A and B are shown apart, each in its own frame.
Chain A
Amino acid sequence: MQNFEYCTPRTLGETFDLLGENDCQCRVLAGGTDLIVQLRQGALSVDRVIDIKHLPECKQLICDPIEGLTLGATVPCHRIYEDKAIVDTYPGLIDSIAIIGGIQIQGRATVGGNLCNSSPSADSIPILIAYGATCEIVGAAENRRIPVENFCTGPGKNILEKGEILVAIHLPPVPKSSGAHYLRFIPRFEMDIAVVGAGAYVELDDEGRMFNKVRIGLAAVAPTPLYAREAGDLLKGREVSDESIDAAASSAQSIARPISDMRAPAEYRKHLVKVLTRRALWGAINRARGEFVPNAVQNNDQ
């Protein structure tokens, strides 16, 4: 690995000073589970690594019934799923962050890092899209908030400008009669990168029979994670049924433009989009109806 300077700013101001220096290739370090691998492979070059784990803004983790969930960019996955309130309120998020790598990866890896790494197959992004989450981006000059679905611009690429960092992710509050679910397909049962990932968020009517609102996110089927807007919108006002769900799954499938690689052939990925969208929707519906849907943190054993 090439050598670099390591900095641990304690304030945002210090961070921007470090980031802003001319002719200095900077990389921001959160959990490091992607960054360190990429540096070791020589896939990235760097002069300075800025460890933002000591910034108070990046460490916050607040689950509030009115404000929703504030997820600091350097909060590791394990802190999220060890928080009972989040596990109960945002099980769809837990579905995804509890399957990123193994337990030892989850001890380090962050949702902020998952976003900024901007992999098309990132597990946390589809469900953040589905929840309607936003990114809080802070720069020396201005701050902005943008929807998660607009964050990634290509494999490994995103809208962060030089001098900007992602400070936090905000998930809106979830009303009663809502539910969310993420699942991915992998050949093994853990430890693989998603071949396809699908996250769904639904709001149902009080009887749990009609869709009021649906948002669907997809992973590993395009150069960026996708927001399947039409697939969700077409369910609005429709009855929960195999037929309506199939229509949404077909719509999601139609926007997928996967590639063939060592993880799976494109045609197979395309097939899976439909299967997983269907399953994600049913998982979300069941949760919205108050039924138990297991995940890696809450399973039938307990």
Chain B
Amino acid sequence: MGKKLYINTTINGEAVEFLCEPRQSLLEIFRDHLGMTGTKEGCNDGNCGACNVIIDGVLMNSCLIFAVEAQDRKIVTIEGLASPQGLHPLQQKFLEHASLQCGICTPGFLVAAKALLDQNPDPTEHEVRHWLAGNLCRCTGYDKIVRAVLDAANVAPNTETSLQSSN
């Protein structure tokens, strides 16, 4: 009972295999076994969104997924947002709008916002706020996060910009 299972999955476009116990969450595997600590743990019960990942195109909390369920799935984490050519427009806009203070919730917000823009490239403020309601931020009051997402939506897809000062 409870024997370890060998899981094959795809993370940020790369084939990844790992051995895990059934009780281990995907979040735990990322953070404690794969060295991928960009996905954050905030509550471990699906109420803060810090551990958001996109699995087969769908936004999910990685704390509420057993790692064994990841077999044959395609997973995108915060580490997969930027490309060697530069940041994702959302990352760039978060920097320009000062949308982070402590930054612990930022990976979860970015992943959630990416999932939103992937399916709704031109959301209203209401839609952005509704979509992001499962992500808690205690620092910013959300104003600058919402503005950054709205602004990123205006950036044409695939025109990823490089990091530079807005000054």
Name which of A97-105, A122-130, A164-172, A258-266 contacts chain B: A97-105
Given known A-B contacts A32-B66, A37-B46, A104-B134, A5 and B22 have beta carbons under 8 A apart: yes
**Is the Cβ of A32 less than 8 Å from the Cβ of B1?**
no
CA distance A105 to B116 in the complex (A): 14
- Asked whether, in the complex, the Cβ of B46 is within 8 Å of the Cβ of A33, the reply is yes
Chain A, residues 171-202, CB within 8 Å of chain B (1/0): the string is 00000000000000000011100000000000
Within 8 A of A (CB), among B25-84: 25, 44-47, 49, 52, 55, 58-61, 63-66, 68-69
Query: Among the listed stretches B11-19, B96-104, B125-133, B139-147, which one makes contact with chain A, having 4 or more residues with CB under 8 Å of it?
Result: B125-133
A39 to B124, CA, bound (A): 38
A107 to B63, CA, bound (A): 13
8 Å CB interface, A53-86 against B: 53, 76, 78
By the criterion CB–CB under 8 Å, are A5 and B46 in contact?
A: no
Which label, helix, strand, loop or mixed, suits the secondary structure of the B interface?
mixed
Which residues on B sit within 8 Å (CB–CB) of A4?
1-2, 22-23
Whether B112 lies near A5 (C-beta < 8 A) is no
Cα distance, A227 to B115, chains bound together (Å): 37
Contact yes or no, B49 A40, CB < 8 A: no
User: Is the pair A108, B60 in contact by a Cβ cutoff of 8 Å?
Assistant: yes
Number of interface residues of A (CB under 8 A): 33
A3 and B22 within 8 A (CB): yes
**Interface-centre pick from B65, B66, B124 (highest chain A CB count, 10 A):** B66
Chain A nearest CB from B122 CB (Å) reads: 11
Task: Tell me whether A108 and B61 are in contact in the complex, defined as CB-CB below 8 angstroms, given that A5-B3, A37-B45, A103-B131 are known contacts.
Answer: yes
B118 within 8 A of A: no
B147–chain A nearest beta-carbon distance, Å: 17
B1 neighbours in A (Cβ, 8 Å): 3-5, 47-48
The contact of A301 among B25, B124, B133, by CB within 8 Å, is: B124
Q: Do residues A299 and B126 form an inter-chain contact, with CB atoms below 8 A?
A: yes
Known: A36-B25, A37-B46, A190-B133. A108 touches B64 (CB 8 A): yes
Q: Which residues of B contact A (CB under 8 A)?
A: 1-3, 5, 21-23, 25, 44-47, 49, 52, 55, 58-61, 63-66, 68-69, 112, 115-116, 124, 126-127, 130-131, 133-135
14 A-B pairs with C-beta separation under 8 A: A1-B23, A2-B23, A4-B1, A4-B22, A5-B2, A6-B5, A37-B45, A49-B22, A53-B69, A103-B116, A103-B131, A104-B60, A108-B60, A299-B127
Return the 6 tightest CB-CB contacts between A and B, nearest first. Answer: A102-B134, A3-B2, A6-B22, A190-B133, A107-B58, A301-B124
